[in-house]
Amino acid sequence: MSWETVIGLEVHLQLATQSKIFSGSSTRFGAEPNTQASAVDLAMPGMLPVLNEQAVRFAVMFGLGIQAEIGRRSVFDRKNYFYPDLPKGYQISQFAEPIVGRGEFEITLDDGSSRRIGITRAHLEEDAGKSLHEDFHGQTGIDLNRAGTPLLEIVTEPDLRSAAEAVAYLKALRSLVLYLGISDGNMAEGSMRCDINISLRPAGSDTLGTRAEIKNVNSFRFVEKAIQFETLRQADILESGGRVVQETRLYDAERDETRSMRSKEVANDYRYFPEPDLLPVVLEESWIAQLRSELPELPPAKRARFVSDYGLSTYDAGVLVDSRALADYFEAVARDCGDAKIAANWVQGELLGQLNREDLDITRSPVSPAQLAGLIRRILDDTISGKIAKQVFEAMWQGEGDADTIIDSRGLKQVSDSGELEAMVDTVIADSPDQVAQYRAADAGKQKKLIGYFVGQVMKASRGQANPGMVNQLLARKLGDNQQDA
Amino acid sequence: MNDMTVAQLIQALRDREFSSVELTRRYLDRIAQRDGDLNSYISVAPEVALAEAEAADRLLTGDNPPALAGIPIAHKDIFCTRGLRTSCASRMLDNFVPPYDATVVERLRHAGCVTLGKTNMDEFAMGSSSESSYYGVCRNPWDNRRVPGGSSGGSAAAVAADLAAAATGTDTGGSIRQPAALCGITGIKPTYGRVSRLGMIAFASSLDQGGPMARTAEDCAILLGAMAGHDARDSTSMDQPVPDYRAALSLSLQGLRIGLPREWFGEQLQPAVADRIHAALRELEALGATLVDIDLAHSELSIPAYYIIAPAEASTNLARYDGVRYGHRCDSPRDLHDLYTRSREEGFGDEVQRRILVGTYALSSGYYDAFYKKAQQARRLIRQDFLDAFSQVDIIAGPTTPGPAFRLGEKTDDPVAMYLEDIYTLGVNLAGLPALSMPAGQVGGLPVGLQLVGPHFGEAQLLATAHQLQLATDWHLSRPPAPTATGDAA
């Protein structure tokens, strides 16, 4: 039987606020344990939460970014459970009235097709601390630095159908939140953590199968592998006539498998009820309108504009709008050099290639947009060839200055002086009597291939600086001339 | 120095009749003599008090000393005090020394108050008799075989016995007013949101409110003025200007419409108490007020609604006491589950455990709609009754409790009988209204309280009404009998 995989994702997105969602403590990553935990974070007696307005602003920006319903009135609830890294014995979350309601999200797959993924809701909540089981013999260490970090939990409809779609969604989501500036999207540091709900059903069926939930997967690659593993696992069970158990599973990256979290506890009853220490969040229309007017241009709109304004392919535009910094970089280069297509080629080719090799983000590129545009201008005005340009780019990358400086200091200027070129051509012809004879004996079709040898020799003699167009012309004439002479 | 009100002490200190250090010593001496029997204090802080008194004396010699400079007061042991153990009368917090002051404590310190110590109470403020304290029962100075009421029983007893000039209390269902009534003093529970809850250990967050307990309405006005006001660190604190309550005390009662809820004068009310309340109401009439019968039709829902909502909130407010970060931790826990269950079993007394269980049950999946949600609906009806009443009358008056102080142990084995103590006070918390209790004479040598309830932020009118009544009567001047040598009163 052929099975359809049905996937819904819950992403816990850490919002990039300076301080925690209900206290003034810093949210900086990587500090010494418990140095960023105030009396509020420690749930000392009598301490009270105060909502961080910036967290609300970020959540609403996200909602506006996916054209979702914004909760004009949203309510915080207590989600009650005991755990040592949950200081209050409850997590402040949102249950019945979240801040972001239904929305939609477009993803583009590698084959260029696109799909719309429904967003069920997104709500604000606080993160828990961390339990550290290593380093403490038979005991557990508790670090509450992360306790109270603002999270936006973004829940999709069961609209995703494959690991590839899930990853495409996560990448698009990451791109969106980076555009909005509401999160650093850093999966390795836990700024984006993903729970995967996955079930199988016979192809063509429209009832949902029993799902498993895979908790806390923290990289695109692991999401892909976890879904692949889980799809096969469930298919095996179903094909051998078994039933999938509804349960929570963990993805073990080392063994590349998902495992049941064998917990003694029965179903948790979180006893949600409205948090009496916080007032409902009531948003004014004018405040929302203000935020809407301040939203940056988001990836779908930017991609469409790059296609129409710069004549780029949808694919190229998609690569360039992946991050706001990259798109801004590209646009700066394109404006400066005046040729968007060459700018796009250089940004996607040499620049991204080099950045990837050195594992650098675009914002840390040693070559500035102005420098790259300067280089492209020298290609456009025939000062250097595309091939020399790559050398110049290398040098710029190493910090040797801008294109003109490098071209000058290295003497890389293209030779376009006809006298100089003619002399080189003559020398090559004189030094290659056999090849000249062969060329002259050949028919027109073969000659086109054989001329490449002479071009190569001239370029070599010029250390690559000869203007290749002019060399071709000169060679064709001289080799032809001599034939006439003979 | 004996038996003076806060207002009189402020004047005496300014007139240099005595210093704050002398006054503080006098209270500390009285506590040492008297409190062995009463047990109104959990902790006495002589060093802190004398240091603060010395500082206050320096301020008193300068220009414009703060309003309460040098006045020795006590804090209910539910308010966090920096460097001073704050137990909430629970074994759970027996070892807890807060690194911060509650906003109320901070404001009163700022106003110049001297902190004598921390007063006894029901454990986590859950009770109406101050018998559930880990530190032993507190006794009523009018009769030491009787309870002082609760949960702010220590504060009420200390003020009544002149072991503090005034004290702070908290009121979740009557915990300021009922002990004030039973100990013959005046106490006001302000509007929900009037006084910051920061640093006040939570019992039921949507009901808890701190307030002053003192000898007179005038003293309460002075103290409330110092305690009240917006606190950005408490999201439920209201950003409303604080009126000059003391200046407003002279408001005339001419034409004041006072509503008498029929439901508060029913069978539950002991006839002798009813007589005292009616006598007090006649005095108010004589001062120019008009009495109007009103209905609070959903009054009978107060107890069931309160005993769902308060335990529900308490069950999660008290989840933080888990033995992990501070407070009581059991010896050598076997595992996490053992750590939780044993620390909490050992740390919490019976009534606290009972309310945690009730509250957990009420919030559980499958019961939420039948209990918590229904209780919230009842709460809205109760609140609406009050709002409707305030479209006809300016304030509401009635008894604070059905009877005077009961005997120690009389109701400890019958939680429901204990819960009925708060039958006239609970609705006010559910509606978030301000209310005070003031002495209205005695029954069998025990004080009786008159309760006045106002509309939201109507504290000034309540205090003025009580003050005018106290100018015209002398019930608030009655003092408990001096203790006999055996410590056995009357």
Tell me the domains of chain A and their CATH numbers: 3-289 (no CATH), 297-410 (no CATH), 418-485 (1.10.10.410)
Q: What is the pLDDT of residue A263?
A: 56
**What are the Cα distances from residue A382, in Å, to A74, A112, A401, A404, A452?**
62, 36, 20, 13, 21
Q: What is the pLDDT of residue A322?
A: 87
Average pLDDT rounded to a whole number, residues A341-369: 94
Average pLDDT rounded to a whole number, residues A59-66: 97
Q: Exposed/middle/buried for A216, CB within 10 Å: 0-12, 13-18, 19+?
A: middle
Percent of chain B at pLDDT exceeding 70? 99
Query: B20, B40, B43, B76: which one is catalytic?
Result: B76
Query: B128, B129, B155, B175: which one is catalytic?
Result: B175
- State the sign of the Cα–Cα–Cα–Cα dihedral A341, A345, A351, A352: positive
Q: What is the DSSP string of B276-298?
A: HHHHHHHHHHHTT-EEEEE--TT
ipTM score here?
0.96
Give the nearest chain B residue to A272 (CA atoms). B363
Total domains present in chain B: 1
For residue A142, give the nearest of B200, B235, B324 by CB distance. Answer: B324
Q: What is the pLDDT of residue A470?
A: 85
Task: Report whether pLDDT(B42) > 90.
Answer: yes
Mean pLDDT (chain B, rounded) = 96
Tell me if A80 and B363 make a contact (CB, 8 A cut-off). Answer: yes
Minimal Cα–Cα distance from B52 to chain A, Å?
Answer: 24
Structural domain contains residue B101: yes
Q: What is the pLDDT of residue B11?
A: 97
Minimal Cα–Cα distance from B380 to chain A, Å?
Answer: 15
Name every chain A residue with its beta carbon within 8 A of the beta carbon of B99.
39, 44
Q: What is the DSSP string of A286-329?
A: HHHHHHHHHPPPPHHHHHHHHHHHH---HHHHHHHTSSHHHHHH
Tell me if B363 and A48 make a contact (CB, 8 A cut-off). Answer: no
Average pLDDT rounded to a whole number, residues B455-465: 98
- State the sign of the Cα–Cα–Cα–Cα dihedral A402, A408, A411, A417: positive
DSSP state of A347: I
A262 pLDDT tier (thresholds 50, 70, 90):
low
Task: Report whether pLDDT(A231) > 50.
Answer: yes
Structural domain contains residue B402: no
Verify whether residue B76 is a known catalytic residue: yes
Closest by CA to B92, choosing from B308, B278, B321, is B321
B205 pLDDT tier (thresholds 50, 70, 90):
very high
The CB-side HSE value for B245 (13 A sphere, CA atoms) comes to 29
* Residues 287-346 of chain B whose Cβ lies under 8 A from any Cβ of chain A: 312-313, 316, 318-320, 322, 324-326, 336, 340
Peptide bond connecting B332 to the previous residue in cis, omega within 30 degrees of 0: no
Tell me if B206 and A271 make a contact (CB, 8 A cut-off). Answer: no
Mean pLDDT (chain A, rounded) = 92
For chain B, the straight-line distance linking the first and the last C-alpha, in angstroms and rounded, comes to: 26
Instruction: Kindly state the tokens that stand for A389.
Output: 């340009």
Verify whether residue B90 is a known catalytic residue: no
Q: What is the pLDDT of residue B487?
A: 45
CA B361 – CA B308 distance, rounded (Å): 9
B235 touches chain A (CB under 8 A): yes
The SS3 of residue B183 is helix
Instruction: Kindly state the tokens that stand for B351.
Output: 């009534």
Q: What is the pLDDT of residue A409?
A: 87
Q: What is the pLDDT of residue B486?
A: 47
The CB-side HSE value for A279 (13 A sphere, CA atoms) comes to 14
pTM of the model: 0.90
* Residues 420-479 of chain B whose Cβ lies under 8 A from any Cβ of chain A: none
DSSP state of A240: T
CA B435 – CA B453 distance, rounded (Å): 4
CA A378 – CA A381 distance, rounded (Å): 5
Q: Which residue has the higher pLDDT, B375 or A323?
A: B375
Tell me if B96 and A45 make a contact (CB, 8 A cut-off). Answer: yes
**Per-residue pLDDT reduced to its tens digit, A171-220:** 999 999 999 999 999 988 899 999 999 999 999 999 999 999 999 898 99
Q: Which residues lie closer than 8 Å to A362 by C-beta, 6 or more apart? A: A323, A325, A326, A329, A355
CA A99 – CA A79 distance, rounded (Å): 16
Mutation target vs A (from B317, B334, B348; most A CBs, 10 A cutoff): B317
B368 touches chain A (CB under 8 A): yes
B95 pLDDT tier (thresholds 50, 70, 90):
very high
Q: What is the pLDDT of residue B484?
A: 61
Q: Which residue has the higher pLDDT, B289 or A443?
A: B289
Q: Which residue has the higher pLDDT, A133 or A290?
A: A290
Task: Report whether pLDDT(A360) > 70.
Answer: yes
Tell me if A45 and B198 make a contact (CB, 8 A cut-off). Answer: no
Pairing of β B72-76 and β B166-170: parallel
B86 touches chain A (CB under 8 A): yes
Structural domain contains residue B207: yes
Verify whether residue B151 is a known catalytic residue: yes
**Per-residue pLDDT reduced to its tens digit, B336-392:** 999 999 999 999 999 999 999 999 999 998 899 999 999 999 999 999 999 999 999
**Per-residue pLDDT reduced to its tens digit, A440-466:** 888 888 888 888 888 888 888 888 888
**Per-residue pLDDT reduced to its tens digit, A80-107:** 999 999 999 999 999 999 999 999 988 9
CA A435 – CA A429 distance, rounded (Å): 8
Closest by CA to B188, choosing from B163, B159, B161, is B159
Q: What is the DSSP string of A243-288?
A: -PPPEEEEEETTTTEEEE---SS-S-----EE-TTS--EE--HHHH
Structural domain contains residue B385: no
The CB-side HSE value for B224 (13 A sphere, CA atoms) comes to 39
Structural domain contains residue B234: yes
For residue B80, give the nearest of A46, A273, A277 by CB distance. Answer: A46
Mutation target vs B (from A22, A34, A44; most B CBs, 10 A cutoff): A44
DSSP state of B200: B
Task: Report whether pLDDT(A265) > 60.
Answer: no
Tell me if B236 and A82 make a contact (CB, 8 A cut-off). Answer: no
Q: What is the pLDDT of residue A315?
A: 87
Q: Measured at the alpha carbon of residue B163, what is the angle toward residues B162 and B168, in degrees to the nearest 5?
A: 100
Q: What is the pLDDT of residue A192?
A: 96
Structural domain contains residue B461: no
Task: Report whether pLDDT(B473) > 70.
Answer: yes
Tell me if A142 and B316 make a contact (CB, 8 A cut-off). Answer: no
Minimum mean pLDDT range among A103-107, A411-415, B301-305, B393-397: A411-415
CA B152 – CA B183 distance, rounded (Å): 11
Minimum mean pLDDT range among A18-32, A410-424, B11-25, B241-255: A410-424
CA B85 – CA B80 distance, rounded (Å): 8
**What are the Cα distances from residue A254, in Å, to A3, A45, A222, A335?**
27, 42, 10, 47
Domain span including residue B181 = 6-253
Instruction: Kindly state the tokens that stand for A65.
Output: 């970014």
- CATH number at B232 reads 3.90.1300.10
A267 pLDDT tier (thresholds 50, 70, 90):
low
Q: What is the DSSP string of B221-283?
A: HHHHHHH-S--TTSTTS---PPP-TTGGGG---TT-EEEEEGGGGSTTS-HHHHHHHHHHHHH
CA B100 – CA B32 distance, rounded (Å): 27
Q: What is the pLDDT of residue A446?
A: 85
Name every chain B residue with its beta carbon within 8 A of the beta carbon of A44.
98-100, 326
